[in-house]
């Protein structure tokens, strides 16, 4: 039993908090005579629960004291239940499940999820320890009231206002009008006295600003230490006020503290010490201390000194004062840890910590995600808006049999390892509805370490099952298997909640497997979860898949994230097209300046569809013109409109054409005549002679990348200053963050050192800050950008071949890849070396490793062509080969980068020495 327990624990993909031995059951807990022990047990469990709630969930393990205990018969115990209810007023059943396993009671704690219907609290707390004055009471604020107060103080500080309320010159007292302000005034005058009479009656009572206390106790100092913080915090956080010690709050008579019982100087000192120790937090820059005055007034009884009244006056505080650090907990280094006031406020208000303090994602073992993950995302918010569409496109929940994804990877795996398919089918037999998502390593996809011994991981998401992560090992001797599987499962689970925003109960059960032809069978210890951790129905499965879509898009680097990324960009382009097409009616002639990476060809093709729908014209009445054959072929295959190159355009007659869309006009030249005039004469024919009326006005839209205009003087484009009306699309960056960064750097260089062919007003369009903002709003993380210099042709070839080999192993296909060189004649220089290297690396598709030219972009082969021929086209993975680093390398970097979606490898040859 014992060894099984430890094994189970080692496999539980959760943070486990061991709280030691605990008495459970209503009867047993009632009978407990040791109240201190009872309270300790209670607070240990509640603090652990709070910490796990705030740290992505986990399991509390308690050893049951009573050997005859049964959860089913005896329950938990009323005091525990009450504490849970206090911690989770919206219902502890939403977060907690209990399970007895032998002599252990496990409490499964779900991750805290902010209640969307009220003020969303990012963490949960037992007590805020922030007080405010409410009438004559000092109230310990609930977490949501505390959040309200923090936000108020924060915004006041941001607006540069320090004082809570300016003190107004006091009004003249009027006997018929009494208000609360009067009590403050009287209290203030009371403070000015230096002598009081025993049993003298005050002319004011308690209020928001005044608290009266009469101490009959002998232990004055400990009592003051105990209650002072509440009143100071309450007055300081509200409007300030007076705490008057030694006056009866009912009769308002002065009693004072007997002079024998108290030393006035020591009392004063004690109060000062006590207030100085209170934790404060500032939003303001001035950061003053709590401002207070202590005054000891002598009380006389028949001319003799009887005792003292002590008055503490507190000024309203600029920010907040606690009585002590809030009672809120997190897991840190696997320990239940109390938050400091500062950290608590950071988490409550979602204040981003400085980057250096962020725990690295890769750190093992399990890290608490609470600090980093519940923070507001710095990733494209659009992803959240599209998660439903993306899920339906890539992971539709159907009633058909269980699907294996992604197809290309499964095909590769099942053909390389024949037994794998059978093995997986055996595993999924009990389930009828679901998806299995394969990866070479789910761990490495989500940023953990890959294990050499792992053949692949497969994540099962099925109705009526918890999530299961199968890890298939290659070698029988794999000792690192369990640790790998557990860490991966745990990270995945955490990310579903913290990144994916999944709010339901979720677990990922790790399961180790091996291919049947090996001898060793890893010992399979069952990991039990409560029933409620199973996906109940299609709806829950869809919610979970949507969370998974977000996780894959935002924190993984894999084939799947690339596929989802492409879909995501398509959605963005559709959205952009919708906005752009609003101009179709009123702006027939338009120059559309698209920055690199904005995918103007995709946009141009979608616009043609819009023209067709809007003007109800036949596809053949719309003409698409570009410079190169490859792009022309591509567009011709993708749309029903006519597509041709500029050369053909200049040679033909187009009587039926009504609308023209011209793409990549930055590459045009005026050879064969003035293409711009010709296009205009088609879309806007001149009316000849009277009598003719209602001349046809068609659309002529010209797309160009103003930063890649090749030969401005000969391009045939009107000068930049005459390109009007014009729209500039800078908001739309459809590639990985890594590639967008390269483009930004290149554009910055161009702006700082502009080549002669780029007009200054074009450069003015590029604003780094705006680009940066768009980049973070749209570009996706998880891309690759590598640069290697000083290579020989052979080294370049080997690098490409090895990369391709690895990519194919992960399920990428030759059609995902383009190898681009700078000039057409370079193609011949690289082709042989590349083919040879691919054969040597035994790339699985070596026999298929025949390259195709840019015109075969829709085909299934790797493209090997010049950057020029490939203009306007894209592939997910681009290798940019350059014979040497020349002065104009920068512009070429930009060309290569704008052709890639997620992976960019820039390889430069050694400079030839003459």
Using the rule CB under 5 A, give the single segment among 312-320, 462-470, 594-602, 779-787 that binds Zn ion: 312-320
CB of 318 to Zn ion, least distance (A): 3
Using the rule CB under 5 A, give the single segment among 10-18, 283-291, 424-432, 609-617 that binds Zn ion: 283-291
Q: Which are the contacts of 632, defined by CB distance < 8 A and separation ≥ 6?
A: 624, 626, 643, 644, 645
- Closest to Zn ion by CB, 341 vs 461, is 341
H helix or E strand, kind and range, residue 35: helix 35-53
* Helical segments of 295-404, H only: 341-349, 370-373, 382-394
Question: Quick one: DSSP state of residue 90?
Answer: T
156 contributes a contact to Zn ion by CB under 5 A: no
CB of 315 to Zn ion, least distance (A): 12
Question: φ, ψ for residue 237 (rounded to 5)?
Answer: -80, -10
Instruction: Mark 269-284 as b/e (b = at least 16 C-beta within 10 Å).
Output: ebbeebbeebbbbbbb
CB of 319 to Zn ion, least distance (A): 3
Question: Quick one: DSSP state of residue 409?
Answer: H
Using the rule CB under 5 A, give the single segment among 90-98, 190-198, 311-319, 586-594 that binds Zn ion: 311-319
Using the rule CB under 5 A, give the single segment among 201-209, 319-327, 365-373, 784-792 that binds Zn ion: 319-327
- Closest to Zn ion by CB, 262 vs 319, is 319
Contact 128, 515 (CB under 8 A): no
CB of 346 to Zn ion, least distance (A): 16
Output the six-digit token pair for 683: 């879309």
610 contributes a contact to Zn ion by CB under 5 A: no
* Helical segments of 368-480, H only: 370-373, 382-394, 407-416, 418-428, 442-445
Interface with Zn ion: number of residues (CB under 5 A): 4
Q: Which are the contacts of 18, defined by CB distance < 8 A and separation ≥ 6?
A: 61, 62
- Closest to Zn ion by CB, 284 vs 636, is 284
691 three-class SS: coil
Q: Where does residue 900 rank: exposed (0-12), middle (13-18), buried (19+ CB within 10 A)?
A: buried
318 contributes a contact to Zn ion by CB under 5 A: yes
310 three-class SS: strand
- Closest to Zn ion by CB, 283 vs 908, is 283
Of residues 348-407, which lie at the interface with Zn ion (CB under 5 A)?
Answer: none
CB of 338 to Zn ion, least distance (A): 23
150 contributes a contact to Zn ion by CB under 5 A: no
Please give the Cα distance from 523 to 10 (Å, whole number). 12
Residue in 787, 780, 786, 860 with CA at minimum distance from that of residue 818: 860
CB of 161 to Zn ion, least distance (A): 11
CB of 122 to Zn ion, least distance (A): 22
Please give the Cα distance from 253 to 20 (Å, whole number). 53
If one counts every other C-beta atom within 10 angstroms of the C-beta of residue 21, the result is: 11
Using the rule CB under 5 A, give the single segment among 10-18, 278-286, 308-316, 760-768 that binds Zn ion: 278-286
- Closest to Zn ion by CB, 158 vs 477, is 158
Q: Out of 121, 130, 319, 907, which residue is the one contacting Zn ion (CB under 5 A)?
A: 319
Please give the Cα distance from 171 to 176 (Å, whole number). 13
- Closest to Zn ion by CB, 166 vs 653, is 166
CB of 261 to Zn ion, least distance (A): 37
Question: φ, ψ for residue 909 (rounded to 5)?
Answer: -80, 160
Using the rule CB under 5 A, give the single segment among 317-325, 339-347, 486-494, 773-781 that binds Zn ion: 317-325
- Closest to Zn ion by CB, 284 vs 577, is 284
CB of 743 to Zn ion, least distance (A): 43
CB of 233 to Zn ion, least distance (A): 14
Output the six-digit token pair for 360: 């690295």
Using the rule CB under 5 A, give the single segment among 247-255, 275-283, 367-375, 564-572 that binds Zn ion: 275-283
Output the six-digit token pair for 658: 């009504």
Using the rule CB under 5 A, give the single segment among 21-29, 165-173, 192-200, 318-326 that binds Zn ion: 318-326
- Closest to Zn ion by CB, 163 vs 911, is 163
Please give the Cα distance from 759 to 751 (Å, whole number). 10
284 contributes a contact to Zn ion by CB under 5 A: yes
Three-class DSSP labels, 572-592: HHHHHHHHHHCCCCCCCEEEE
CB of 184 to Zn ion, least distance (A): 23
Q: Out of 282, 610, 711, 748, which residue is the one contacting Zn ion (CB under 5 A)?
A: 282
- Closest to Zn ion by CB, 232 vs 906, is 232
CB of 320 to Zn ion, least distance (A): 8
- Closest to Zn ion by CB, 156 vs 726, is 156
Adjacent-strand bridge partners of 304: 301
- Closest to Zn ion by CB, 281 vs 329, is 281
Q: Which are the contacts of 711, defined by CB distance < 8 A and separation ≥ 6?
A: 669, 757
Q: Which residues bind Zn ion (CB under 5 A)?
A: 282, 284, 318-319
């Amino acid at each position: 039993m014992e060894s099984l327990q430890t094994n189970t624990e080692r496999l539980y993909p959760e943070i486990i908090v061991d709280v030691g031995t605990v008495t459970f059951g209503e009867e047993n807990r009632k009978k407990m005579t040791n109240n201190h022990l009872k309270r300790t047990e209670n607070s240990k469990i509640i603090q652990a629960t709070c910490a796990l709630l705030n740290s992505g969930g986990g399991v509390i393990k308690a050893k049951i004291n009573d050997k005859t205990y049964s959860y089913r018969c005896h329950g938990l115990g009323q005091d525990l239940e009450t504490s849970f209810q206090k911690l989770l007023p919206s219902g502890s059943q939403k977060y907690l499940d209990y399970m007895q396993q032998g002599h252990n009671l496990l409490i499964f704690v779900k991750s805290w999820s902010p209640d969307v219907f009220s003020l969303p609290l990012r963490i949960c707390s037992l007590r805020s320890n922030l007080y405010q004055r409410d009438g004559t009471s000092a109230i310990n604020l609930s977490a949501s009231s505390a959040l309200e107060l923090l936000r108020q103080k924060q915004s006041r500080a941001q607006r540069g206002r320090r004082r809570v309320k300016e003190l107004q010159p006091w009004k003249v007292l009027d006997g018929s009008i009494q208000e609360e302000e009067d009590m403050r005034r009287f209290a203030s005058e009371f403070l000015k006295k230096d002598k009081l009479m025993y049993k003298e009656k005050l002319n004011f009572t308690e209020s928001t600003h005044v608290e009266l206390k009469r101490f009959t106790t002998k232990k004055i100092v400990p009592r003051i230490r105990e209650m002072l913080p509440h009143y100071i915090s309450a007055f300081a956080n509200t409007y300030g006020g007076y705490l008057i010690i030694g006056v009866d709050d009912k009769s308002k008579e002065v009693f004072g503290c007997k002079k024998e019982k108290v030393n006035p100087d020591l009392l004063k000192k004690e109060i000062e010490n006590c207030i100085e120790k209170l934790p404060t937090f500032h939003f303001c820059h001035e950061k003053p201390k709590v401002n207070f005055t202590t005054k000891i007034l002598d009380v006389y009884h028949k001319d003799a000194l009887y005792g003292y009244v002590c008055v503490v006056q507190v000024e309203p505080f600029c920010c907040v004062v606690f009585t002590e650090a809030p009672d809120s907990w997190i897991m840190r280094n696997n320990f239940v840890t109390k938050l400091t006031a500062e950290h608590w406020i950071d988490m409550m208000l979602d204040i981003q910590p400085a980057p250096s303090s962020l725990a690295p994602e890769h750190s093992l073992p399990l890290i608490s995600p609470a600090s980093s993950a519940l923070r507001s995302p710095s990733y494209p918010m659009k992803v959240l808006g599209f998660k439903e569409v993306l899920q339906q496109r890539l992971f539709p929940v159907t009633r058909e049999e269980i699907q294996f994804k992604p197809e290309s990877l499964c095909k590769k795996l099942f053909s390389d390892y024949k037994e794998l398919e059978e093995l997986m089918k055996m595993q999924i037999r009990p389930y009828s509805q679901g998806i299995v998502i394969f990866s070479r390593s789910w761990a490495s996809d989500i940023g953990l370490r890959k294990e050499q011994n792992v053949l692949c991981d497969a994540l099962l998401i099925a109705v009526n099952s918890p999530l299961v992560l199968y890890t298939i090992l290659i070698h029988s001797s794999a000792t690192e298997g369990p640790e790998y599987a557990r860490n991966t499962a745990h990270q995945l689970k955490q990310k579903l909640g913290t990144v994916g925003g999944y709010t339901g109960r979720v677990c990922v059960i790790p399961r180790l497997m091996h291919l049947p032809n090996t001898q060793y069978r890893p010992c399979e210890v069952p990991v039990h979860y409560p029933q409620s951790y199973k996906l109940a129905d299609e709806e829950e499965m869809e919610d979970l898949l949507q969370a998974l879509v977000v996780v894959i898009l935002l924190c993984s680097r894999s084939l799947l994230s690339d596929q989802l990324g492409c879909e995501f960009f398509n959605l963005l382009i559709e959205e952009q097209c919708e906005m752009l097409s609003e101009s179709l009616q009123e702006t027939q002639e338009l120059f559309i300046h698209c920055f690199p990476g904005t995918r103007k060809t995709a946009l141009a093709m979608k616009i043609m569809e819009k023209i067709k729908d809007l003007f109800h014209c036949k596809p053949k009445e719309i003409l698409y013109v570009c410079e190169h054959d490859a792009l022309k072929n591509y567009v011709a295959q993708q749309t029903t409109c006519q597509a041709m190159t500029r050369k053909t355009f200049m040679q033909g007659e187009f009587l039926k054409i009504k609308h023209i869309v011209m793409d990549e006009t930055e590459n045009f030249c005026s050879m064969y005549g003035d293409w711009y005039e010709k296009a205009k004469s088609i879309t806007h024919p001149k009316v000849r002679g009277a009598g003719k009326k209602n001349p046809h006005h068609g659309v002529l839209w010209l797309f160009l990348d103003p930063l890649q205009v090749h030969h401005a003087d000969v391009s045939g484009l009107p000068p930049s200053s005459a390109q009007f009306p014009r729209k500039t699309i800078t908001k739309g960056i459809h590639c990985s963050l890594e590639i967008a960064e390269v483009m930004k750097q290149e554009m910055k260089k161009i702006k700082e050192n502009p080549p002669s062919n780029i007009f200054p007003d074009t450069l003015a369009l590029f604003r780094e800050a705006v680009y940066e903002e768009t980049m973070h709003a749209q570009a996706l993380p998880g891309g690759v950008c590598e640069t290697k210099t000083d290579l020989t042709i052979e080294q370049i070839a080997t690098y490409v071949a090895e990369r391709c080999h690895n990519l194919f192993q992960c399920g990428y296909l030759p059609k995902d890849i383009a190898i681009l060189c700078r000039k057409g004649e370079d193609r011949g220089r690289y082709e042989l070396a590349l083919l040879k290297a691919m054969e040597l690396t035994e790339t699985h598709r070596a026999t298929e490793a025949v390259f195709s030219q840019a015109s075969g972009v829709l085909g299934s082969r790797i493209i090997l062509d010049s950057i020029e021929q490939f203009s306007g086209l894209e592939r997910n993975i681009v290798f940019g080969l350059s014979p040497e680093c020349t002065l104009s390398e920068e512009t070429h970097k930009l060309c290569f980068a704008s052709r890639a979606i997620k992976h960019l490898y820039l390889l430069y040859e050694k400079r030839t020495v003459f």
